[in-house]
Structure 1
Amino acid sequence: MNQEKKHLLKIGELAKRAGVTVRTIRYYEELGLLSPTEVSPGGFRLYTEQDLNRFQFIQRFKELGLPLEEIQVLIDNSEPGESKIQRIRASYSLLEKQLKKIEDKISELKVSKASIEKGMEALNVCKECALEVCLPACSNKKALL
């Protein structure tokens, strides 16, 4: 029996070491992100340390907010013989795109925040107003619901 065979992990062991559920492993298999290295005669999915490393790679990118579809593209476009620098460039490019999306979202949220704060300020002015009905020319009228 070679060294590799000794260290094959069943799906439950892989899930435990990865800190996820068996269902997550199966879901990644359904998506084509991961596949067992071997299936035993009894039908058990068997994985290697390299499979665990691949899963952890996927998880790191997922934790950074990348959709699984984009991670799949990164994996699919990765050639087995690629150099370290080629893999780094591909990962860097993907992270760069994700950073741009986050920066865009932050900008949108800042605009929303400013709008909400402006509405709240207007409502504070209205709260102090003694009039029962807003005057037609009241600039804060739009802030009322």
Structure 2
Amino acid sequence: MSIKEVAELAGVSIRTLRHYDDNGLLKPAEVSPSGYRHYSEENLKTLQQILFFKELGFPLQKIKEIIESPSFDRLGALELQRHLLIEKQKRLAKMIALIEKTIQSEKEGMEMSSEEKFAVFRFDNNPYEREAREKWGDQAVNAAEAGIAGLTGDEKSALAAEMNGIYRELAAIRHTDPRAQGAQTAIRKWFDFLNRHFGNYTPEAFKGLGQMYIEDSRFTKNIDQFGEGLATFMAAAMAEFANQTEE
């Protein structure tokens, strides 16, 4: 594939791909005598890895060190990246729920305890973060954490508004059949939202996340703020969506 084709496929600029080539991060499989870059399937796999690491906040130099290491395991990296992205999604969901709770307490003149105000800012119990530190080092994970914290206020607000809009739409139909067309159309919006903002969710991963909504009481409590029984409805709709998509 040409550099233009790869740029369009991956949603990155030609300038970015040239930069990756110049610093040795992603060398094209072939450069023609006239200077045209041509990328192989293996190049595309490497580019995918780079973009996953970037989404997690890893600096380019560290990404280069990781993927060039003799011990680098692509499949193992993908599995750990999936876990880290799901943890990122869970973390943002908790933060958004805390923002909603804080706004509500301000409106109603209620005082939150100190523990409630800062409960979601402790991330020391994430087993996947510990595994990532063991695999890729503290520096890389610290940089990733900084990237997560780097969302602007407007970005967080826009993300929260979009998420809450989907929750409210689903809450309004939570008493209907989760297998019905209306429920499936609405749950697809949630599937698309997660894939736009939090990584590549397969239908099976999406189904597993829905199961977590009813197995983890913290998720259930946060989601059911939009309507009692919403978490159960979403889990069923997500499972049906996954089953239909995989058929």
TM-score normalised by the chain length of structure 1: 0.52
Match of 2:34 in 1: 42
Decide whether aligned partners of structure 1 residues 11 and 73 sit closer, same or farther in structure 2, where only a CA change above 3 A counts: same
* Counterparts of 1:43 and 1:100, CA distance in 2: 35
* Counterparts of 1:22 and 1:85, CA distance in 2: 27
Please say if 1:62 is aligned against 2:59. Answer: no
SS at match of 2:12: coil
Gaps of 5+ in 2: 82-131, 150-247
* Counterparts of 1:27 and 1:40, CA distance in 2: 18
Match of 2:43 in 1: 51
Superposition pairs of residues 65-80 of structure 1, within 5 angstroms? 65-78=57-70
Decide whether aligned partners of structure 1 residues 20 and 98 sit closer, same or farther in structure 2, where only a CA change above 3 A counts: same
What letter corresponds to residue 38 of structure 1 in structure 2?
E
Query: What's the CA shift for 1:28?
Result: 0.7
What letter corresponds to residue 10 of structure 2 in structure 1?
A
Please say if 1:21 is aligned against 2:13. Answer: yes
Q: Is the 8 A contact 1:78 1:87 kept in 2?
A: no
What letter corresponds to residue 13 of structure 1 in structure 2?
E
The structure with the largest alpha-carbon Rg is: 1
Decide whether aligned partners of structure 1 residues 44 and 88 sit closer, same or farther in structure 2, where only a CA change above 3 A counts: closer
SS at match of 2:57: coil
Equivalent residues, number: 95
Which runs of 4 or more aligned residues in structure 1 lie more than 4 Å from their structure 2 counterparts after TM superposition? 82-91
Q: Is the 8 A contact 1:74 1:90 kept in 2?
A: no
Over the residues paired in the alignment, what is the CA RMSD in angstroms? Answer: 3.4
Match of 2:145 in 1: 102
* Counterparts of 1:54 and 1:36, CA distance in 2: 11
* Counterparts of 2:35 and 2:9, CA distance in 1: 21
SS at match of 2:70: coil
% identity of equivalent residues: 36
SS at match of 2:42: helix
Decide whether aligned partners of structure 1 residues 84 and 50 sit closer, same or farther in structure 2, where only a CA change above 3 A counts: closer
Gaps of 5+ in 1: 1-8, 107-145
